[in-house]
Amino acid sequence: MTINEIPTPTTNSTAVTGMPRIGDPAPAFTAVTTQGDINFPADYAGKWVVFFSHPADFTPVCTSEFMTFASMQQEFAAYNTELVGLSVDGLYSHIAWLRTIKDKITFRGMKDVEVTFPLIEDISMKIAEMYGMIMPGEDSTKAVRAVFVIDPEGKIRTVIYYPLSLGRNFDELLRVVKALQTADHFSVATPADWRPGDSVIVPPAGSCGTAKERMDGHDEGVKCEDWFFCTKEIAAADIESAIRVRGKA
């Protein structure tokens, strides 16, 4: 097919909305939430943010997720990380749903759970579309389960998407936050299944001389399987001391 033969989109074609990419500034917006108006991401300058969407209020998977997030809110806060949720439902629906969670729902031993982080009203779907949370192939009127981890400078550092049917793994989301902060603070990378206390990856040598020194064992504390694959140990206590907010449980 030549360029001139490419079909011209019609008004009936499904619009495809792009999404912010890793390394992009988080798109800015103002919004009404269950905790008052917010100016995002400006209100969170200096903090990490887990910004996530959910498909709809009064749905069971979303209920289980919000209870889990709320129960872990202080754990995220201990790593200077705030939670911000979004769905395309209205504010009053949000309030009624969160009250129902607190008053009626028990899940995995959690009950009387109060959600105190902001839940954004996005009836127009403008914010969801801005962040690529609406995927017509999954549902054209509900946001998929998107997660954006945003750093203190307002830059997107991680993007994770789940379908409507799949609840998120919240231990993994907290692990992501810890790994990003560890990589930033110690100038390292984290290997598969890394958790604090595991070996970290040392950036590849930038010269033949450095590579040889590492392979010869002259780079103290660094263990090399080959010139490009080198690791070192950082104690979990040292990581916690570096990235954990003082006084946070």
Whether 145 has a binding-site annotation, put simply, is: yes
Residue 3 lies in a domain: no
CA distances for 165 relative to 54, 62, 144, 168, angstroms? 11, 10, 9, 10
Backbone angles phi, psi at 26, to 5 degrees: -65, 125
Q: How many domains does the chain have?
A: 2
Final residue belonging to a domain, choices 167, 194, 225: 167
- Which of 223, 218, 243 lies closest to 233, judged by CA? 223
Final residue belonging to a domain, choices 167, 194, 215: 167
Q: Are residues 160 and 85 in the same domain?
A: yes
**pLDDT tier, 101 (very low <50, low <70, confident <90, very high otherwise):** very high
Final residue belonging to a domain, choices 139, 167, 195: 167
Residue 173 lies in a domain: no
Average pLDDT, the chain: 89
Q: Are residues 23 and 139 in the same domain?
A: yes
Q: Are residues 30 and 88 in the same domain?
A: yes
Per-residue pLDDT reduced to its tens digit, 172-202: 999 999 999 999 999 999 999 999 999 999 9
Q: Are residues 111 and 224 in the same domain?
A: no
Q: Could you tell me what percent of the chain has a pLDDT over 70?
A: 86
Instruction: Measure the CA–CA gap between 118 and 175, rounded to whole angstroms.
Output: 22
**pLDDT tier, 225 (very low <50, low <70, confident <90, very high otherwise):** confident
CATH number at residue 120: 3.40.30.10
Q: Are residues 142 and 188 in the same domain?
A: no
**pLDDT tier, 12 (very low <50, low <70, confident <90, very high otherwise):** very low
- pTM of the shown model: 0.88
Residue 239 lies in a domain: yes
Given this model, what pLDDT does residue 211 score? 65
Q: Are residues 196 and 155 in the same domain?
A: no
Q: Are residues 31 and 122 in the same domain?
A: yes
Residue 101 lies in a domain: yes
| Choice between 136 and 182, residue whose per-residue pLDDT is larger | 182
Q: What is the mean pLDDT of the segment spanning 38-50? A: 98
Domain that holds residue 205: 182-243
pLDDT at 9 over 60: no
Q: Are residues 26 and 110 in the same domain?
A: yes
Q: What is the mean pLDDT of the segment spanning 33-48? A: 98
Q: Are residues 162 and 212 in the same domain?
A: no
**pLDDT tier, 26 (very low <50, low <70, confident <90, very high otherwise):** very high
CATH number at residue 196: 3.30.1020.10
Instruction: Measure the CA–CA gap between 92 and 119, rounded to whole angstroms.
Output: 11
Q: What is the mean pLDDT of the segment spanning 204-228? A: 72
| Choice between 246 and 43, residue whose per-residue pLDDT is larger | 43
Given this model, what pLDDT does residue 208 score? 62
Q: Are residues 27 and 73 in the same domain?
A: yes
**Catalytic residue from among 62, 208, 224, 230:** 62
Q: Which secondary structure element, helix H or strand E, spans residue 83, and what is its range?
A: strand 81-87
Residue 249 lies in a domain: no
**pLDDT tier, 247 (very low <50, low <70, confident <90, very high otherwise):** low
**pLDDT tier, 3 (very low <50, low <70, confident <90, very high otherwise):** very low
Residue 175 lies in a domain: no
Is the separation of the CB atoms in 180 and 190 below 8 Å? no
pLDDT at 83 over 80: yes
Given this model, what pLDDT does residue 234 score? 96
Given this model, what pLDDT does residue 143 score? 83
Active site (annotated) includes residue 224 = no
pLDDT at 100 over 70: yes
Per-residue pLDDT reduced to its tens digit, 155-169: 999 999 999 999 999
Q: Are residues 73 and 45 in the same domain?
A: yes
Given this model, what pLDDT does residue 249 score? 54
Q: Are residues 229 and 201 in the same domain?
A: yes
**pLDDT tier, 204 (very low <50, low <70, confident <90, very high otherwise):** confident
- Which of 40, 41, 138, 32 lies closest to 89, judged by CA? 32
Residue 4 lies in a domain: no
Residue 98 lies in a domain: yes
